[in-house]
Amino acid sequence: MLGLGIESTAHTFSCAVIEKKGKKGKILSDVRKIYRPADGEGIHPREASRHHIENSSLVLSECLDEANIKVNDLDIVSYAGGPGLGPCLRVGAVVARSLASFYKIPIYPVNHALGHIELGKLLTGATNPLVLLVSGGHTMLLAFLNKQWRVFGETLDITLGQLLDQFGRSIGFASPCGKNIEELAATSSNYVTLPYSVKGNDVSFSGLLSATKSVAKKSKVDACYSLQETSFAMIAEAVERALSFTRKKELMIVGGVAANKRLSEMLQDVCKRHGAKFFVVPLKYAGDCGSQICWTGLLESQIKKGVSLKDTFVTQSWRLDTVKVNY
């Protein structure tokens, strides 16, 4: 079975083709174009959606060429229905609807966060993990129970990705800033005390963001180091709490911040202590990509026939824990 997935929730416009055989999936192509705001600035939804519109046909045709298939070969098309930025989501949905109605291909709206998890499971081989989803849009600890992903802990305000990006922008980096911060942090070992806020399995980052900004006035390097140490230790503690509470024997980390090596290193240590297996999604597929949408759509197609065009919604706030998973 051949599926096309279209991702357009935020910075990234991406199309991917996956071939599904039984429980196995093979990524035939995954093409991306990423909108880059100016240094020190955040994503502008209108500009991002314009970027997506301008690049959409190019990305789509490149993706089909690379997979060496034609639109007619596709069995399904899926798109990210949310959560994300309204104007951006609409671009992906329009492309998907056009293909679906013109070529009569079944269409599936997919939850973007669920996409991160399903692709992570496909690529890492994790079977029943506690999932840490850390990205610009999410900071959540999830476990699967009674056909739904349940939230065992999450951020009470901004996400880990936002924390890093907003701080990074304040010292002049361009979003996404995680990599720059990681590099700068690696050159310091001078820890400045910052607010550490763990509430049960939940974390809160907004106070930490303001405090780090004021540390940066004295030393950007120390600020980056201390920010990473504090926020990652908070995440690691929340993970430990959730591991010990759910008694899961696997931890899988997905989402853009999964690319950070220091975070992985800390979580690996946590897993060792709790006798849990550690899985991290491969770097190339940590961030937003068409494959995550495509694979989840293919999984859904096992039990659903697709939705009619009038139900091809986009929803800016579509929480993962409201999605029923029946496949």
Partner 1 sequence: MKLIKKGAEADIYQTMWQNSNAILKIRKTKNYRNSSLDSKIRKQRTIKESQIISQVKSFGIPAPLVYFVNLKNTSIIMQEIPGTPVHDLSESKIIQLSKTIGKLVGMLHKNGIMHGDLTTSNFIFFKNNVYVIDFGLSQNTIKPEDHAVDLRLIKEILNSAHAKIMIPAWKNFLLGYKSVVGNANYVKITKLVSDIESRGRYAQVV
Cis ω for the linkage preceding 129 (within 30 of 0)? no
Segment near partner 1 (CB under 8 A), from 12-20, 47-55, 196-204, 281-289?
A: 196-204
Q: Does 165 bind partner 1 (CB under 8 A)?
A: no
Q: What is the CA radius of gyration of the chain?
A: 20
Segment near partner 1 (CB under 8 A), from 118-126, 208-216, 241-249, 250-258?
A: 241-249
Site for partner 1 in 175-194 (CB under 8 A): 191, 193
Segment near partner 1 (CB under 8 A), from 38-46, 174-182, 306-314, 315-323?
A: 315-323
Q: Does 65 bind partner 1 (CB under 8 A)?
A: no
d(CA 95, CA 5): 11
Segment near partner 1 (CB under 8 A), from 50-58, 142-150, 280-288, 306-314?
A: 142-150
Q: Does 270 bind partner 1 (CB under 8 A)?
A: yes
Assigned token pair, 80: 């990210």
Burial classification of residue 192, based on how many CB atoms lie within 10 Å of its CB (0-12 exposed, 13-18 middle, 19 or more buried): middle
d(CA 1, CA 22): 9
Among 41, 73, 183, 269, binds partner 1 (CB under 8 A): 269
**In angstroms, what CA-CA distances link 306 with 77, 79, 147, 171?**
9, 12, 19, 46
Among 56, 155, 291, 296, binds partner 1 (CB under 8 A): 155
The nearest distance, CB 119 to partner 1, in angstroms, is: 20
Which residues are registered as beta bridge partners of 130?
251
Q: Does 277 bind partner 1 (CB under 8 A)?
A: no
d(CA 69, CA 67): 6
Site for partner 1 in 83-112 (CB under 8 A): 83
Residue nearer to partner 1 on the CB measure, 68 or 244: 244
Helical segments of the chain, H only: 45-67, 86-103, 112-124, 160-170, 178-185, 206-216, 220-246, 261-274, 290-300
Residue nearer to partner 1 on the CB measure, 198 or 307: 198
Site for partner 1 in 212-231 (CB under 8 A): 229-230
SS (H, E, C) 230-252: HHHHHHHHHHHHHHHHHCCCEEE
Residue nearer to partner 1 on the CB measure, 9 or 301: 9
As a whole number of angstroms, the longest Cα–Cα distance in the chain is 60
Q: Does 139 bind partner 1 (CB under 8 A)?
A: yes
Q: Does 248 bind partner 1 (CB under 8 A)?
A: no
Q: Does 156 bind partner 1 (CB under 8 A)?
A: yes
**In angstroms, what CA-CA distances link 223 with 15, 128, 207?**
37, 37, 14
The residues binding partner 1 (CB under 8 A) are 82-83, 137-140, 143, 145-146, 148, 150-157, 159, 191, 193, 196, 198-202, 229-230, 233, 236-237, 240-241, 243-246, 265-267, 269-270, 273-274, 316-319
